[in-house]
Amino acid sequence: MNATATAPAPAASVPRRPRVHMAAFGCQMNVLDAEVVVGELLRRGYERAATEDAADVVLFHTCSVRQHAEDRVWSRLGALRRRKKLDPSLRIGVLGCMAQRDGRSILVRAPHVDVVCGTRMFPRIGELLDRTREGERVLAVDEVECLPPPRNLSARPDRHKAFVTVMRGCDHRCTFCIVPTVRGPEVSVPEDDVVAEVEALAGDGAVEVTLLGQNIDSYGRDLPGQPTLARLLRRCAAAPGLRRLRFITSHPGDVTEELLDTMGADPRLCPYLHMPAQSGSDPVLKRMARKYTAARYREIVAEARRRVPGIELASDWIVGFPGETEADFEASLGLLREVEFQTSYVFQYSTRPGTPATRLADDVPGEVKRDRNHRLLAAQTEISERRNRARAGEIAEVLVDGPSERDSSRLSGRTRENQVVVFPGPAAWRGTFRRVRVTGATAAALYGEAEGLAAGRG
């Protein structure tokens, strides 16, 4: 009997799947858009690269709101120029607000960039990247909004929480803001689609969802029947399994009594309002075209506190806006001190190309802007520290996000009011609700000890 040895058949070579790395700059909506882009590319056969160096495709989802964010993108693109020379198969894409505003000039300034894709075209990034395979350099900056593909739930970075974009663009024309230029007019996602997405996320383990919109309080005005944000919140909050629902960002002129009453009536709706004041001076607010006065802002705050027990407020501020005098700045300081915000985000004004404020002289010296920035932050720090310390002994109900960024041996999470709480505990508590006894505080966080699992609604 002859034995025949059979050599193993040569393995068919399987082409390696392209690896994509994406970095998002700017707001939470950009982070979510980046998740959608990566989810779509995974669906099309890409793999996620852990680092930029390991990627065959590097994408930047950019922000134009501040110069600093743009500078960081240009610096990262500069660093990739050499790598592209050594490896011409590397593909590089610039997406989002910078792409929308600067379009072709990015391709001119950065000849190693393969794709420039604006704010309304990113859902088609897969097709655009296909076109670059043959060396085509693609510019896709369209006026027509492309609907994002159905969400790829497996691409979610956190199981316990999620973000959902409910509208894009803004119909306000605040003179310092590039959003209306790069994001266009308000376009709301149909109510049923938002509700279906929130239900799908809750079914996939998300216990906290944050609805996103540049000016979310005007949600629905462009939809048939004009559903309100309040109605949307009521429907989304009913998603089985969902325990917390948030929304950002609010324009003071669009906050309604219906919205506040809805927030006050349902414990699943978190008592937190990010409602930028920007300034406490009426002449400055007028030059910003914010469409409210400081007195009106105070009234809305009072109404919010009356209708939503325990509500916490956060504000953005611009210091050094054109023509801002010391008295104008003192008015901002006064408003901040009076309202006692939980958090203030302070920005020094810088001229953004494409905004109406470019017509105003940027006449506040840099050192004055820095000084005002410092004074506003110092006032907020004093308020936050005092209010947080007064909470010693309280029990906070915390949804655990994971290890604290500053001290990975401890856990960090947030209360319904969006207050950060840091405490010791095992990593396995990520995504669970805990009762934490507050033992200390800084301006930035409460510190404490876990007492057990929080029951009921977080």
Residues that bind ligand SF4 (CB under 6 A): 170, 172, 174, 177, 179-180, 214-215, 251
Residue 175: what residue type?
T
Half-sphere exposure of 319 (CA within 13 A, CB side): 26
Task: Closer to ligand SF4 by CB, 255 or 422: give it.
Answer: 255
Residue 352: what residue type?
R
Task: Closer to ligand SF4 by CB, 30 or 214: give it.
Answer: 214
Structure tokens at 224: 């048939």
Min dist. Cβ of residue 457 to ligand SF4 (A): 31
Q: How many whole angstroms separate alpha carbon 382 and alpha carbon 378?
A: 6
Omega of the bond leading into 249 within 30 degrees of 0 (cis): yes
Cβ proximity of 448 and 421 under 8 Å? yes
Q: Which of 378, 416, 377 is nearest to 395 (CA)?
A: 416
Task: Closer to ligand SF4 by CB, 55 or 174: give it.
Answer: 174
Q: What are the backbone angles phi and psi of residue 448, rounded to the nearest 5°?
A: -170, -165
Cβ proximity of 218 and 251 under 8 Å? yes
Task: Closer to ligand SF4 by CB, 69 or 196: give it.
Answer: 69
Min dist. Cβ of residue 100 to ligand SF4 (A): 14
Min dist. Cβ of residue 83 to ligand SF4 (A): 35
**C-alpha torsion angle, residues 37, 43, 45, 50 (rounded to 10):** 50
Min dist. Cβ of residue 81 to ligand SF4 (A): 33
Cβ proximity of 114 and 138 under 8 Å? yes
Min dist. Cβ of residue 308 to ligand SF4 (A): 21
Task: Closer to ligand SF4 by CB, 252 or 413: give it.
Answer: 252
* DSSP for residue 410: S
Min dist. Cβ of residue 285 to ligand SF4 (A): 12
Structure tokens at 161: 């929480």
Task: Closer to ligand SF4 by CB, 214 or 332: give it.
Answer: 214
Could you tell me how many residues make up the chain? 458
Q: How many whole angstroms separate alpha carbon 401 and alpha carbon 412?
A: 6
Min dist. Cβ of residue 289 to ligand SF4 (A): 8
Task: Closer to ligand SF4 by CB, 279 or 419: give it.
Answer: 279
